[in-house]
Chains A and B, each alone.
Chain A
Amino acid sequence: MLSYLLRRLLLVIPTLLGITAVVFFVMALAPGGVGASLLTHEGQMNPQQRRAMEQYLNQRYGLDKPPVVQYLRWLNKVSPFGYRDRADAKRGLPWFKSPDLGESFSRQRPVTALISESLPITLLLNVVTIPIIYTIAILTGIQAAKRRGQLFDVGGGTILLGLWSLPTILSGVLLIGFLSNQEYLRLFPTNGLHDIQADAMTFLPTTAGGSFQRGWLLDTLWHLVLPVVCMSYGGFAFLSKLQRGAVLENISLDYVRTARAKGLAEKEVLYRHVFRNSLIPLITVAANLLPALLAGTVVVETIFGISGMGRLMVEAAFVRDRELVLSDALVIGLVGLIAYLLADICYVVADPRVSYDA
């Protein structure tokens, strides 16, 4: 198991290199080259700032060098080990250093700080959403398979395909428009994940001072409702169809007949024997689902004014903040690959036929 995991982890490295290389060269080969996008603000700078920036760029990228060299320099900067500049050569183990993601020009702040603020928010959204997606998908998928060919199955299948086709940009705009607008129903908040006074709230709901205080937890949950609805329906529509197919495929297999011949009730056959086997394809696609969900958060975060990774990425791309875009790609690639790994481990756990050493 350990060697299997190690091998998987090693395979992550070339993929990460590939991801950052693709993004880097997309930017480097853009009209005007790397510098053009970085120096767009120079008109507004005083000469001192400008010189500082040029110096920074040269030190970091070597803009006079070809793109490949530039990319390698960037890699050296962000990787936890490698060639060190003289300045910090004295400290720590040789070859090991602290990764440096650079500084965002548009925000004038270190990229690491920006990401450490945004990433937890996006992860929170996904951590809440994924269990909801899987629960609904598994339940409806099994029901549809049980009623194969009946109205519930056929009608439900069309509705699910409809949900899958329903763009988040429409559902999100409609939800926020009708459910959070003063003119219609003011049921949910429009913006962000917390109330302005959330920091002053107690964690749990209280009735202190005679009036009900919803507290930090409830406030967050309340803010989460609409974004999570928007993020989840497409996913469970897709997975529900997958689950239905998996159940149908398993239910005609020989081992199900054996289970029935043992005298198990149909329910036990379904939930003990078929269910566990039908989860295997769902675990396989979990790895593909996460990148899609991360992309989905771009839209959801934009609509609901949540400052997570998606919004950070869009805004960075808008102002061509190269440091931020590259680091975003790196982090999102990393998160996606961790998801792949987790899915792999789940797969090995769920299916004993998968060998750790193969």
Chain B
Amino acid sequence: MTLDAAVSSALAAAPPDAQASDSGGRPVRSLRRQAIHDTLSNKRARAGLVWISIVAFAGVFAPFLANSYPFLIKIDGRISSPLLRHLSRLDIVLLIALAAAIIIFSRRHVRVSVKWAAFATIIAAAALGSRLFHAPGTNVYDTYRQLQRDGKIQWAVYAPVRFSPNDRMRDQPALRLTPPSRHHLMGTEANGADVLSRIIHASRIALAIGLIATSIAVVIGVVIGGLMGYFSGRVDIIGMRLIEVFEAIPSLFLLITFVAFYGRNLYLIMAIIGLVSWTGDARFIRAEFLRLRKQDFVQAAIAGGLPLRSILFRHMLPNGISPVLVSASFGVASAILSESVLSFLGLGLVDEPSWGQMLNQALNVGGAFTWWIAVFPGLAIFLTVFGYNLIGESMRDALDPRLHGIA
């Protein structure tokens, strides 16, 4: 293969400085930086990232984007903010977390571990602090509509979408199942709630399920796969059997069983999705660790008597994590899909809006096909899943050495 040798040597030698940084210093870091750069310079990945940013924005600022309570209102000469008064604990924790993230991670000269520690502390404090905070127990969404009709409101500033997700418009029963209109841009559902508002608020569940479930899967997969790859032999054989068992059960069946027998709890659903989808990550990590453990730097770490934890997580993991990042990106997409399918089958949450549950409504409404209940939440699921898949695929392409070189 002189031909290939000629071409590839020609390409390899072209930028001498790139070669130099590869051979000395930190090869892993520079490769990863290159991969991140390649991923971000891919148009399709950027499109996915933009959409997911939009969803994340909608999730964090949901109460400000869609709310039945006015942001500012003047009644009888008094200015108040019913919206802020009705913020839930979760709303507040999310806002604090976002602010903390922006402040902490924009600092340049702080070590990454310190940043994460500070971030975690702030979130924990916010979560505890929010316990002291009491939102009004019952929501009477039509209060302000009624006040407005009665002409008691002097002026008011509303959120862009003037309906809360659970505002069932009790004052206007005729508004059930109406197609998109000027007031309800995406129509209303069977209970009269605004579809757009529900979609905005449901983005929280979608994102949270995706990220948390995938984190659980990655942690389980890394630990099991890492131990299998590091010890190989008998541990490996037992681990492979375990993986085969979990892969032989269609994960959806396991999910349905879990949820049916353990009840509908958001955190439980996240944990279960994580629990049934770790096998791919474990396989990847196992393969990487089998390869890595023969390499000199790992042998040196073992010979140096470092503790197992240090060898596994400090020396091997950073070198073997790349394929897991790719599979995590696809994993987030499939976790979102799993949740939506569960909700669609009627096994999801009851009160909280979720994209899949809205689709289910479209099927269950008898008679006419209310397309707006299906199309909009369905599109939201599709675009989010597509976005994560686009990012995952670009990452895989960027990390695949075979794709470099001859174009």
Contact = CB atoms under 8 A, between A and B. Distances in A.
Interface of A: 14-15, 18-19, 22-23, 26-27, 30-31, 37, 149, 158, 161-162, 164-170, 173-174, 176-178, 181, 183-184, 249, 254, 288, 291-292, 294-295, 298-299, 302-303, 313-314, 317-318, 320, 325, 328-329, 332-333, 336-337, 340
A303 B363 contact: yes
Interface stretch (B123-131, B253-261, B286-294): B253-261
A318 B260 contact: yes
Contact of B393 (A15, A18, A161, A314): A161
- Identify which of B259, B347, B356, B369 gathers the most chain A CB atoms within 10 Å of its CB: B369
Contact of B257 (A27, A161, A167, A333): A27
B245 interface: yes
B105 interface: no
Interface in B350-407: 356, 359-360, 362-363, 368-369, 371, 374-375, 378-379, 381-382, 385-386, 389-390, 393, 402, 407
By Cβ-Cβ distance, the 5 closest A-B pairs, closest first, are: A170-B378, A18-B245, A317-B260, A295-B250, A177-B369
B264 to A, nearest CB: 12
Contacts of B22: none
B293 to A, nearest CB: 24
Given A18-B241, A158-B44, A313 B253 contact: yes
Interface residues of B, number: 52
B389 A165 contact: yes
A15 B241 contact: yes
Contact of A173 (B248, B368, B374): B374
Contacts of B402: 249
Contact of A167 (B246, B340, B368): B340
B157 interface: no
A332 B261 contact: no
A184 B257 contact: no
Contacts of B333: 165
B171 interface: no
Contacts of A314: 256, 345
24 contacts: A18-B241, A18-B248, A19-B248, A22-B245, A23-B257, A26-B258, A27-B257, A158-B44, A162-B386, A169-B381, A170-B359, A170-B374, A173-B363, A177-B374, A295-B250, A298-B253, A298-B256, A298-B345, A302-B344, A303-B363, A313-B256, A318-B346, A318-B347, A328-B253
Contact of A302 (B345, B379, B385, B386): B345
B251 interface: yes
A337 B249 CA distance: 10
A37 B261 CA distance: 8
Nearest to B260: A317
B260 A14 contact: no
A317 B257 contact: yes
Contacts of B257: 23, 26-27, 317, 325, 329
Contacts, number: 146
Nearest to B370: A177
A329 B253 contact: yes
Given A30-B262, A317-B256, A317-B260, A169 B359 contact: yes
Contacts of A22: 245-246, 249, 254
Interface of B: 1, 44, 241-242, 244-254, 256-263, 333, 337, 340-341, 344-347, 356, 359-360, 362-363, 368-369, 371, 374-375, 378-379, 381-382, 385-386, 389-390, 393, 402, 407
Contacts of B256: 298, 313-314, 317
Given A14-B241, A169-B344, A332-B253, A337 B386 contact: no
Nearest to A340: B248
Contacts of A298: 252-253, 256, 341, 345
B375 A174 contact: yes
Nearest to B380: A170
Given A18-B242, A337-B248, A169 B356 contact: yes
Nearest to B371: A177
A145 to B, nearest CB: 14
B25 to A, nearest CB: 32
Contacts of A31: 262-263
Nearest to B406: A252
Nearest to A336: B248
Contacts of A325: 257, 260
Nearest to B362: A173
Given A165-B389, A177-B371, A183-B369, A320 B382 contact: no
A105 B263 CA distance: 20
A23 B260 CA distance: 12
Given A18-B241, A164-B389, A173-B374, A333 B249 contact: yes
A174 B378 contact: yes
B369 to A, nearest CB: 4
A133 to B, nearest CB: 17
Nearest to A339: B248
Given A26-B254, A31-B262, A318-B260, 11 more contacts: A26-B258, A37-B261, A161-B386, A166-B386, A169-B344, A291-B247, A298-B341, A299-B345, A303-B363, A325-B257, A333-B248
A299 B344 CA distance: 8
A173 B357 CA distance: 12
A164 B347 CA distance: 24
B323 to A, nearest CB: 15
Contact of A166 (B250, B341, B382): B382
Nearest to A14: B241
Given A317-B256, A336-B248, A337-B248, A181 B345 contact: no
Contacts of B260: 317-318, 320, 325
B245 A295 contact: no
B391 to A, nearest CB: 11
B259 to A, nearest CB: 8
Contacts of B371: 174, 177-178
A337 B260 CA distance: 25
A177 B363 CA distance: 8
B275 to A, nearest CB: 10
Contacts of B407: 149
Nearest to A252: B4
B390 to A, nearest CB: 7
Nearest to B242: A18
A269 B216 CA distance: 47
Contacts of A337: 248
Contacts of B250: 291-292, 294-295, 332, 336
